[in-house]
Structure 1
Amino acid sequence: MLYDKDIREPLFDFLEERYGKIRILEEKQMGKSRADIVMVLPDTIAGIEIKSDADTYVRLKRQVRDYNRYYDSNLVVAGSTHALHIKEYVPKWWGIITAEKMGNTVDFYTLREPKPNPKVDMKRKLSILWRPELAHIQELNKMPKYREKSKAFVIEKILLKVPRETLALQISEELFERDYTTIEERIREYKRKKKHGL
């Protein structure tokens, strides 16, 4: 039997080998659910749900709805006990990877390639970014700073100003560059500038 913890590390190696330049973010909040894995690629973001042999389908319907709102494409990685039926539980545009224990290793097999997600909401995708990251996108696109405005307001303005293809690249770049060790300092600096109108 494969558990979530058995799947993760070998899966990261499999994804890196398969996709090349990626960044993995784990356990990201999305609406009322949590994405097991967010895989950042140079021009797209993929949500990945792990359904280990120990998991059930109880929460999957809600999780699918939330993944569909946030990510350009989505995949489910299913333990062998789910391999036969998983396609009945996820939309046809979701990719499916099966995970099977082979001796001391985990073997992955692509059952279905992911297709572009027709339900992605660009507002929600942009909301993944922190305020300093959004500010950097504004700067790159020579936009006003809107420091006194809400994050939602800024997201609306970015969507009006920046072409979707350009924005996809810029969002991915921000996530590739995200540094969890300096973010508190960056947010403090952002707030200080906002307070002083800089």
Structure 2
Amino acid sequence: MNSEKAEPTAKAALLSALKMARKLSRSTVMSELVVGGQSNRADIVLANDRLSCFEIKTHADTLVRLPKQLDTFTRCFDETTVVAASKHLSAVRALVPDFVGVMELAGAPKAPEIIVHRQASTSSHLSVEFLLQLLPADRLRLVLGGRGLPKKRADLMQHAQAMSIEDARAAVIAFLRDRYRVSSKAFASGAQRSVKCKDLLRLRRLHRIEASTLDDNEAQEWEIFQYVGQSFGQAPPEIIKAFTKV
């Protein structure tokens, strides 16, 4: 399996395992959530009364970026778990703090099995400043009281310094639930007992495609296309048309 298709396959396997463990029933589910800049994305995030992040490292990935990712994720999310291919397992165990969860992508890359080696516990690095990075400036201004406050994020953060972790978390969860409610509900209603790659399309907040019309290979290609499109700008109309049901 090539590197581009490994990611959606692993993500579907993870969501299947979380679904079987009843971790999704009361959660808003997000895929590729931007955290602290476009170059930093959390593979899967769950929001209920807490925020949980899952970072996937397939057999085709390296661990070069993992320390920096964990430095950010453990400051934003109550719980962070690394989901790693078997070949990375020893290195991941050596890299991550004790409170970071560890799961293994075991077996064949085309049909990985999720093995839980350590459940995540509450991060000791949580930061109000990092949590509030998950809010756009206009929402942050509203949370802080609205009228009379500056427009620039840097100035708003000066007003947010006294906010508690609990209040910052509640504000972020409310925002994420509102923003991703429709896509998360579409995913929950469409995915069966075992999550397929095509079910991931429903987690695209502005998706225009019916996932039921695609097989898993086509769904993987669409997932790759969407991700590349975010990196390199709007695709030509004829390419979009080829992937989109009119």
* TM-score class, shorter: 0.7 to 0.9
CA RMSD of aligned residues (A): 2.8
Residues 94 and 115, structure 1, Cα contact 8 Å, conserved in 2: yes
Q: Which runs of 5+ in 2 are unaligned?
A: 181-204, 207-246
The structure in which a higher percent of residues are helix is 2
Task: Give the 3 Å change call, closer, same or farther, for CA 61–158 of structure 1 in structure 2.
Answer: closer
Runs of 4+ displaced beyond 6 Å: none
Compare 53-62 and 95-104 and name the one that shifted more.
95-104
Post-superposition offset of 1:159: 4.4
Post-superposition offset of 1:125: 1.1
The structure in which a higher percent of residues are strand is 1
Structure 1 residue corresponding to 2:133, chosen from 127, 137, 149: 127
Which structure ranks higher in relative contact order (CA pairs < 8 Å, sequence separation ≥ 6)? 2
What letter corresponds to residue 65 of structure 1 in structure 2? D
Percent of aligned pairs sharing the same letter: 20
Give a deviation string over 1:149-190, Cα, whole Å, max 9, x none.
422332342442x54324322311111111555xxxxxxxxx
Q: Does 1:111 align with 2:117?
A: yes
Task: Give the 3 Å change call, closer, same or farther, for CA 17–174 of structure 1 in structure 2.
Answer: farther
Post-superposition offset of 1:29: 4.0
> What pairs up with 1:31-110 in 2 under 5 angstroms?
34-101=40-107, 105-110=111-116
Task: Give the 3 Å change call, closer, same or farther, for CA 62–148 of structure 1 in structure 2.
Answer: closer
Residues 39 and 48, structure 1, Cα contact 8 Å, conserved in 2: yes
TM-score (norm 2): 0.61
Corresponding position of 2:150: 148
What letter corresponds to residue 75 of structure 1 in structure 2? T
Number of aligned residues: 176
Q: Which runs of 5+ in 1 are unaligned?
A: 182-198
TM-score (norm 1): 0.73
